[in-house]
């Protein structure tokens, strides 16, 4: 299981399926019978040897009374959007002056060690 930027755990499809199956007290063979597939197919998914489609994972979880919930969020890219908007509100000449001043600052501090 790996952690994503929101701090919640992101599990592999196999781990999600296995945890749900065990919580329901089912064997791989039980789930396979419900799904109309083989125990080895369920085993391969749980071992992450194959990656099921979202639809397949949703169907398998649904057979156990578990709903698959997916979410997304914006990536934190380290860009200060308010500063960006502020800079873009300046006239082009002022933006160039600000950029040159920053470049001079960076040049002066190149190689400096900050503590």
pLDDT in tens, 30-63: 999 999 999 999 999 999 999 999 999 999 999 9
- Using 50, 70 and 90 to split pLDDT, how confident is the model at 73? confident
Do 7 and 58 belong to one domain?
A: yes
Rounded CA separation 92/68 (Å): 49
Q: Average pLDDT over the chain, rounded to whole?
A: 88
- Same domain flag for 51 and 15: yes
Split at pLDDT 50, 70, 90, the class of 9 is: low
Q: What are the distances in angstroms from CA 48 to CA 2, 16, 26?
A: 14, 10, 19
10 pLDDT higher than 70: no
Contact 46, 18 (CB under 8 A): yes
**Residue 106 has which token pair?**
């960076």
Same-domain check for residues 83 and 58: no
60 CB neighbour count, 10 Å cutoff: 25
In a domain, 70, yes or no: no
Domain CATH code at residue 16: 1.10.260.40
How many structural domains does the chain have?
Answer: 2
**In this structure, are 53 and 89 located in the same domain?**
no
Supply the range of the domain harboring residue 110.
77-115
Residue 75's pLDDT band, with cuts at 50, 70 and 90, is confident
């Amino acid at each position: 299981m790996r952690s994503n930027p929101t701090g919640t755990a992101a599990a592999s499809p196999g781990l999600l399926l296995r945890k749900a199956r065990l919580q329901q007290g089912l064997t791989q063979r039980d789930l396979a019978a419900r799904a109309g597939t083989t125990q080895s197919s369920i085993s391969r998914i749980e071992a992450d040897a194959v990656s099921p489609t979202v639809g397949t994972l949703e169907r398998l979880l649904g057979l156990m009374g578990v709903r698959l919930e997916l979410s997304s969020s914006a990536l934190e890219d380290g860009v200060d959007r308010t500063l960006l908007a502020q800079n873009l509100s300046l006239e082009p000449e002022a933006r160039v002056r600000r950029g040159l001043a920053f470049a001079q600052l960076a040049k002066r501090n190149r190689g400096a060690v900050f503590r």
